[in-house]
Amino acid sequence: MSVESVVAFELAKRWFTQFAKADGAMVDGLAWYLQSRVVERAFDRAFLAPGYRFQSTCFFGCGVRWSFRPLIVDRWGDGLGRPEFARTWSNRKWPALDRRPATTFDRQTRAFALAFGSLERELGWPMLQGALRAAANANDGRPLRDILEAATARELDAVFRIAAAAPADHRLGVMTSTPATTCGSQPCFVTRVPLVRGGEIPFPMVLRVDFEGGTSIMAEWKGNDETFDFESTSPAVRARLDPDRVWLLDSDFANNDHHSTRSASSISAKWIAQWMLWLQDAMLTYTFPV
């Protein structure tokens, strides 16, 4: 899908050339976001399976590319340039990434692509599609972000402001669930979930807490409260901030998930699994298929 990706990206840029001079990085990010949707549909039609492209690796400075047909990646990570965006901050060089346009983008362009992906998840594609159509047809000199805000009737300035600056890393603190005596004759537990702001909140984020027995509760975090308290008849076992990963610009997804109980065996399994993933990357990178 590399050819389809480049063609879709260049065609998408032509719909918003009137904004390129004032918001070049934003237009490039928007075009890269749109190509992810186009390539996803092309991939589905070509291979009769949902996805963005086959997992691949490259050799000899990415002069030779090799794809692995059973492994399919989706557009929400690979298609929007999430790996390239994450490496902007980690400076990780290995394993090498394919030479796609996203590898040549600057940090802001990658961030804007993920920002538009987040808006699709937050607003829904029909609303975002209507706003982009209004922007493509606009020639009155207004900035792109102002047109999108007027078309969606939503304040989007925080989303684009975060994309233009350093990414925010909102995370969970240590969740506690302790017995209490405030529920009468019924067993009662008070669960406290602290939240740590790592920057500006772009829009309300969902906090989900799961309890023993399969029950759960969800609350919206708007950045005002830093601790959520819940009363329940069973202890909490898991808390997740933004469980559906609506906000794709979070620099670290791992600290958005907290389990109350982790046995020694589960910790060992985690490190073994991490080692297996490292071994897989090592084998794919240093073994050239004949």
Residue 274 lies in a domain: no
In this structure, are 158 and 182 located in the same domain? Answer: no
User: Nearest to residue 27, comparing CAs of 163, 123, 152?
Assistant: 163
CA distances from 20 to 29, 70, 101, 152 (A): 11, 39, 17, 21
Give percent above pLDDT 70 in the chain.
Answer: 86
In terms of phi and psi (left: phi > 0; alpha: psi -120 to 50; beta: otherwise), the region of 220 is: beta
The pLDDT value recorded for residue 288 is 54
> How large is the average pLDDT for residues 52-78?
76
Task: Using the predicted structure, report yes or no on whether residue 23 has a pLDDT greater than 80.
Answer: yes
The pLDDT value recorded for residue 187 is 76
Task: Name which of 226-230, 248-252, 268-272 the model is least confident about.
Answer: 268-272
Q: How many alpha carbons fall within 13 Å on the CB side of residue 26?
A: 23
In this structure, are 160 and 179 located in the same domain? Answer: no
> How large is the average pLDDT for residues 202-224?
90
In this structure, are 10 and 147 located in the same domain? Answer: yes
In this structure, are 93 and 21 located in the same domain? Answer: yes
In this structure, are 155 and 195 located in the same domain? Answer: no
The pLDDT value recorded for residue 12 is 92
Residue 95 lies in a domain: yes
CA distances from 45 to 7, 41, 127, 132, 167 (A): 17, 6, 25, 25, 35
The vertex-102 CA angle with 30 and 155, nearest 5°, equals 30
Residue 270 lies in a domain: no
The pLDDT value recorded for residue 134 is 93
Task: Using the predicted structure, report yes or no on whether residue 263 has a pLDDT greater than 60.
Answer: no
In this structure, are 205 and 152 located in the same domain? Answer: no
The pLDDT value recorded for residue 81 is 84
In this structure, are 144 and 23 located in the same domain? Answer: yes
What's the pTM value of the predicted model, to 2 decimals?
A: 0.81
> How large is the average pLDDT for residues 42-63?
81
In this structure, are 14 and 85 located in the same domain? Answer: yes
pLDDT tens-digit readout, 80-136: 888 888 787 766 666 666 656 777 788 888 899 999 999 999 999 999 999 999 999
The pLDDT value recorded for residue 132 is 94
Which domain range does residue 196 map to? 171-259
The pLDDT value recorded for residue 182 is 63
The pLDDT value recorded for residue 42 is 92
Residue 72 lies in a domain: yes
Task: Using the predicted structure, report yes or no on whether residue 195 has a pLDDT greater than 80.
Answer: yes
Here the tokens at position 11 are 């065609």
Q: 3-class SS at 15? A: coil
Q: What is the mean pLDDT of the chain?
A: 84
Higher-confidence residue of 56 and 107: namely 107
CA distances from 238 to 144, 229, 241, 255, 258 (A): 40, 14, 10, 12, 6
The pLDDT value recorded for residue 98 is 66
The pLDDT value recorded for residue 254 is 86
Higher-confidence residue of 28 and 274: namely 28
Residue 280 lies in a domain: no
The pLDDT value recorded for residue 82 is 85
The pLDDT value recorded for residue 290 is 46
Chain center to CA of 109: 15
The pLDDT value recorded for residue 273 is 77
The pLDDT value recorded for residue 28 is 93
Strand partners, 53: 73
E strands along 8-83, which residues?
Answer: 53-59, 64-73
In this structure, are 128 and 6 located in the same domain? Answer: yes
The pLDDT value recorded for residue 185 is 66
Do the beta carbons of residue 174 and residue 232 sit within 8 Å?
Answer: no
Domain count, the chain: 2
> How large is the average pLDDT for residues 13-40?
92
User: Nearest to residue 79, comparing CAs of 47, 46, 116?
Assistant: 116
Q: Residue 116 contacts by C-beta under 8 Å, 6 or more apart in sequence?
A: 29, 30, 33, 128
In this structure, are 113 and 17 located in the same domain? Answer: yes
